[in-house]
A and B are shown apart, each in its own frame.
Chain A
Amino acid sequence: MITTTDLTKVYRSRGREVTALDGVSLHVEPGEMYGVIGRSGAGKSTLIRCVNLLERPDSGTVTVDGQDLTALPGPRHRAGRSLRQARTGIGMIFQHFNLLSSRTVRGNVELPLEILGLTRRERARKALELLDLVGLADQARAYPAQLSGGQKQRVGIARALAGDPKVLLSDEATSALDPETTRSVLQLLRDLNRQLGLTVLLITHEMDVVKAVCDSAALMEKGRIVEAGVVSELLATPGSRLAHELFPVAGAVPGGDRTVVDITFHGDSAGQPVISHLARTHEVDVSILGAAMETVGGRQVGRMRIELPGHPDTNAAALAYLRERGLTVELPAQTAPATGPAPLDRSPAPTEQGPTDELAPEGTR
């Protein structure tokens, strides 16, 4: 539904050059929710602006719904008629909502309908229909200043859906919202994705957003996509950085005669009492150093860092058992404090923090 090939974009100002995009190729399947995650400055904002050509890439192509947008003629800095036409079929929502304070909620939703050239009556009908869809029909006459952040973003979503788009671009749409509101807005996006078959490309710096709603994800760093794929498959990939960042397991890896194992649960294995079974059948004392378990896309997934007494060689049978149960097993480097790459979130959720003490009692959070 969305394909970018080899996008590059360099910003030049006062002799300095900043490479925002350095050969980005991305493919979003129809009906998919695709999350691009990265720190600020990674180029994700530029990437999403290139998809509807709010930014024109220096090179590379953008194809949305089979149409090569980069090939559409535009008189210099302005968008030509054909590009403007294509944009009416691509919805976009923003971090700071970008609603007109001079218009009512309904007036805001009607703006794209005015651009589409609908009559007054059609506009009113469609706007109320859209507001109903996002659960704000009763606020049609309110002004944006009278709404909460979550409500404003719902208006933004209603407005983005005005042109019956097949694609919705979300530019950090939940980053200005509190966690609870974030969840409800994400849930709305997920519902729209399911009900309308809407393809959603979202960019975020919050791993939780990807965890909560994304089918696929890409990790962006310094203008490049360093890893991309279907989330459930990434979790099953040993050494996946996204898997590490989605489920960062804390817990120092002590040296000495111990075996520290990072295991990733995905799919069916998550429902089984693997750890207690391991302890019983192999008669080993298992300490859980840290764990992060969650439901992703309706399935239980997560990662856990456990510790077994004895050298890894002596635990070969136990490790083989874990692999047999369909878990991904990794031995982190035995250098404390090895916790994988630093999480992207500056403040990881408490559930992702495991006990860090070597003698920590068993148990997960």
Chain B
Amino acid sequence: MTWSQMEPLLTQGTIDTLYMVGWATFYAVLGGLPLGVLLVLTDKGGPLRNVVANRAIGVIVNVGRSLPFIILLVALIPFTRFVVGTAMGPTAAVVPLAIAAIPFFARLVETAIREVDHGLVEAAHAMGGGTWTVVGKVLLPQALPSLIAGLTTTVIALIGYSAMAGAVGGGGLGTLAYTYGYQRFEDEFMLVTVAVLLVIVTAVQLIGDGVVRLVTRRTRTG
């Protein structure tokens, strides 16, 4: 396979991968951030302590996290078809990716928020702040570096998952590696695909680290 043959495939594959990961990340934040916050708030000692709600969210998150992605992918096909109208293609792949990423990110959010010093929460309460003041003005801003680091981890996990989505016709670089590299024994194509994925993962990690540094720099150095 020549480079001129590979190039359009790779370009489309990269676009599809970024499309899938991008939307899945969007939904991961949309769903995972509130779930993670609620996991902390509803826990015992939290301002919204509620054992039933806390357990329920915990179970949902754990189930979502323990299912192997490839199983989730297949199991969700009827649901995906219901939501998107088809189970094939990058748009369809966003559904299982988002559903896998939400609990993943939710746990990371929970951990990040638990790290915030409880004294700060107490101080906000002493000033007359309510629960949402505490969340919006104390917990989230103070946890921001950890949240961004968690988001970076989530995006990279999603890039890996998106390659699996290729196995069921999701499109993207995973599909290319599988159909051309694996099924047609095009070793070079496989190598190039892996190289592109490596570049994307490295870029995401570098950007993530850079942003974390940007938001921590002013607060840590003297």
Contacts and interface: CB of A to CB of B under 8 A. Distances in A.
Contacts of A144: 219
A111 interface: yes
Contacts of B220: 101, 145
A52 interface: yes
Contacts of B126: 52, 54, 87, 90, 92, 169
B65 interface: no
B124 interface: yes
A112 B122 contact: no
Interface string B120-135: 1011111111110100
Contacts of B142: 100-102
Contact of A163 (B47, B127, B215, B218): B127
A145 B221 contact: yes
B130 A100 contact: no
A103 to B, nearest CB: 7
Given A94-B119, A98-B122, A100-B138, A145 B128 contact: no
Interface in A58-98: 77-79, 84-88, 90, 92, 94, 96, 98
B222 A146 contact: yes
Given A115-B128, A145-B222, A92 B123 contact: yes
Contacts, number: 81
Q: Which residue of B48, B123, B144, B220 has the most chain A CB atoms within 10 A of its CB atom? A: B123
B123 A98 contact: yes
A303 to B, nearest CB: 38
B52 to A, nearest CB: 14
B78 interface: no
Interface residues of B, number: 28
Contact of A102 (B125, B129, B144, B221): B144
Contact of B219 (A78, A101, A115, A159): A101
A84 B132 CA distance: 13
A114 interface: yes
A102 B130 contact: no
A79 B125 contact: yes
Given A143-B219, A146-B222, A100 B128 contact: no
B85 interface: no
Given A84-B129, A112-B128, A98 B120 contact: yes
Contact of B127 (A88, A101, A145): A88
A72 to B, nearest CB: 12
Interface of B: 47-49, 117, 119-120, 122-131, 133, 137-138, 141-142, 144, 215, 218-222
Given A100-B142, A102-B144, 6 more contacts: A87-B125, A92-B126, A96-B119, A98-B120, A100-B120, A102-B219
Interface of A: 52, 54, 77-79, 84-88, 90, 92, 94, 96, 98-103, 111-112, 114-116, 143-146, 159, 162-163, 169
20 contacts: A52-B126, A54-B122, A78-B47, A84-B129, A84-B130, A85-B128, A87-B125, A94-B122, A94-B123, A96-B119, A102-B142, A102-B144, A102-B215, A112-B128, A112-B129, A115-B133, A143-B218, A146-B221, A146-B222, A169-B126
